[in-house]
Amino acid sequence: MQTSLASWIRDTTDGREAEAILRTCVHCGFCNATCPTYQLLGNELDGPRGRIYLIKQVLEGKPATAATQLHLDRCLTCRNCETTCPSGVQYSHLLDIGRRVVEKKVVRPMAAAATRAALREGLTSNAFAPAFRLGQVLRPFLPATLRSKVPPLATARTRGAARRAHPRRMLYLAGCVQPAMQPNINAATERVFDALGVQLTAADGAGCCGAIRHHLADLEGARADARRNIDAWWPQLQSGVEAIVMNASGCGATVREYDHLLREDPRYAEKAARIVAATKDVAEVVPGLVEQAAPRMGPVEMRRVAFHPPCTLQHAQKIRGVVESMLRAVGADVVGFEEAHLCCGSAGTYSVLQPELAGRLRDRKLERIEVARPDVILSANIGCISHLQGGSARPVMHWIEWLDRALAPA
């Protein structure tokens, strides 16, 4: 066992990467202070330091158990611990490796395995949109937990997207679940870019960014998603589009790791690095465009806003403060609230797979926000928006939808 373990570490990319990351952790435990699951459960093994220890043990040859898997499953992959860590530990990469290794060693109960397979295949398939629409029609008859994840049909505002040509061109990723769940986000994004002088289009052939498969330990599936998207974007990038824009921060965080995901693929590694360099979150593009275009603003409805920055924006992509500054510049009264650094519990498929913890984190987030009495809660990721919407009577929307409403019609 020791020999095969030593050769796994020496001869595989995962092994070498895991060993290098483990060496950077000094076990200080600072990360526990900002870990949502440690805050809720108070168990060392439900914090980053404990999970690192569990992964280390498994990689050293100790048997993985269902309990090991549970502690890793409970991690939101929010990466708050990476923001806090003074030693620069790349926790999420280690967790990915640890989850894959444990997944091979611990057989999940049949029902849990079936749920994960249904999420992996269902959310990324073409059947999702019609199934979701059916769910909206049947919403009054759905059980409460499911109902909270399905917005009523009437809330889907679908004013037409922009179709004017502009010399400046950018691409965006429409996403897998977003067009069905909240179609107005993509339409609003196109309208805002149009109003600011940029033609924004979704490339044919692109689809899920790969996050769903990646977080469900399906590495090869995530790589296939990445390659398909690169193939769809590459010709457009060659023909002069300025950037590939993400209006879901979860997708942005994933696409920005395509170079890491495909680093050993001789056909795609270089292209992946170019794609990463061209990828921008809407928060990195729109504030500059607003400043340049100085657009006319209409009367600002829902002026008092609370902005919930998704973990994939603030911790994974390290984009902080720009949305709030821009909203203030265009007339919003941006109110602060406690624990803005903590995850809301959405975290991709987490809210389905860990509903109890996800619900507690959502309620805690909404309680903190409620103290500020905003007119509207804004965020930047479809998962967070839907999750918060399910627990709040206040309107919840993407900040780009708020900006779209605030821009005076051209």
- Site membership for ligand SF4, residue 29 (CB under 6 A): yes
- Which region among 26-34, 96-104, 271-279, 375-383 touches ligand SF4 (by CB under 6 A)? 26-34
From the number of C-beta atoms within 10 Å of its C-beta (0-12, 13-18, 19+), residue 408 rates as exposed
Cβ at position 74, least distance to ligand SF4 in Å: 7
CA-CA distance, 87 to 82, in Å (whole number)? Answer: 9
Helices marked H in 35-127? 36-41, 48-59, 66-73, 80-84, 91-105, 110-122
- Which region among 10-18, 20-28, 163-171, 211-219 touches ligand SF4 (by CB under 6 A)? 20-28
- Which region among 47-55, 167-175, 184-192, 251-259 touches ligand SF4 (by CB under 6 A)? 47-55
Nearer to ligand SF4 (CB atom), residue 78 or residue 261:
78
Q: Please select the residue that binds ligand SF4; options are 9, 15, 48, 187, rule is CB under 6 A.
A: 48
Cβ at position 208, least distance to ligand SF4 in Å: 21
Cβ at position 15, least distance to ligand SF4 in Å: 20
Question: Which residue in 271, 277, 378, 248 sits closest to 326, CA to CA?
Answer: 378
Question: Which residue in 135, 154, 153, 131 sits closest to 143, CA to CA?
Answer: 135
Nearer to ligand SF4 (CB atom), residue 99 or residue 271:
99
- Site membership for ligand SF4, residue 254 (CB under 6 A): no
Q: Please select the residue that binds ligand SF4; options are 1, 3, 11, 27, rule is CB under 6 A.
A: 27
According to DSSP, residue 64 is labeled P
Nearer to ligand SF4 (CB atom), residue 47 or residue 374:
47
Question: Which residue in 146, 156, 25, 42 sits closest to 81, CA to CA?
Answer: 25
60 backbone dihedrals φ, ψ, rounded to 5°: -85, 0
CA-CA distance, 400 to 158, in Å (whole number)? Answer: 14
Q: Please select the residue that binds ligand SF4; options are 69, 80, 182, 351, rule is CB under 6 A.
A: 80
Cβ at position 106, least distance to ligand SF4 in Å: 19
Q: Please select the residue that binds ligand SF4; options are 15, 18, 36, 194, rule is CB under 6 A.
A: 36
Q: Is 108 helix (H, G, I), strand (E, B) or coil?
A: coil
Contact by Cβ (8 Å): 407, 286: no
Report CA 175 to chain centroid distance, whole Å.
11
- Which region among 46-54, 229-237, 269-277, 299-307 touches ligand SF4 (by CB under 6 A)? 46-54
Q: How many CB atoms lie within 10 A of CB 198?
A: 22
- Residues 323-362: x where in contact with ligand SF4 by CB under 6 A, - otherwise, as a string: ----------------------------------------
Beta strands in 266-326 (DSSP E): 279-281, 304-307
- Site membership for ligand SF4, residue 387 (CB under 6 A): no
Q: Could you tell me the sign of the dihedral formed by the alpha carbons of 302, 307, 310, 312, in that order?
A: positive
- Site membership for ligand SF4, residue 374 (CB under 6 A): no
Cβ neighbors of 240 (< 8 A, separation 6 or more) are 169
- Residues 84-123: x where in contact with ligand SF4 by CB under 6 A, - otherwise, as a string: -x-x-x-x--------------------------------
- Site membership for ligand SF4, residue 76 (CB under 6 A): yes
CA-CA distance, 83 to 154, in Å (whole number)? Answer: 39
- Site membership for ligand SF4, residue 30 (CB under 6 A): yes
Cβ at position 342, least distance to ligand SF4 in Å: 9
Cβ at position 316, least distance to ligand SF4 in Å: 10
Contact by Cβ (8 Å): 83, 342: no
Q: Is 367 helix (H, G, I), strand (E, B) or coil?
A: helix
Q: How many CB atoms lie within 10 A of CB 247?
A: 31
Give the binding site for ligand SF4 (CB under 6 A): 25-31, 35-37, 48-49, 51, 75-81, 85, 87, 89, 91
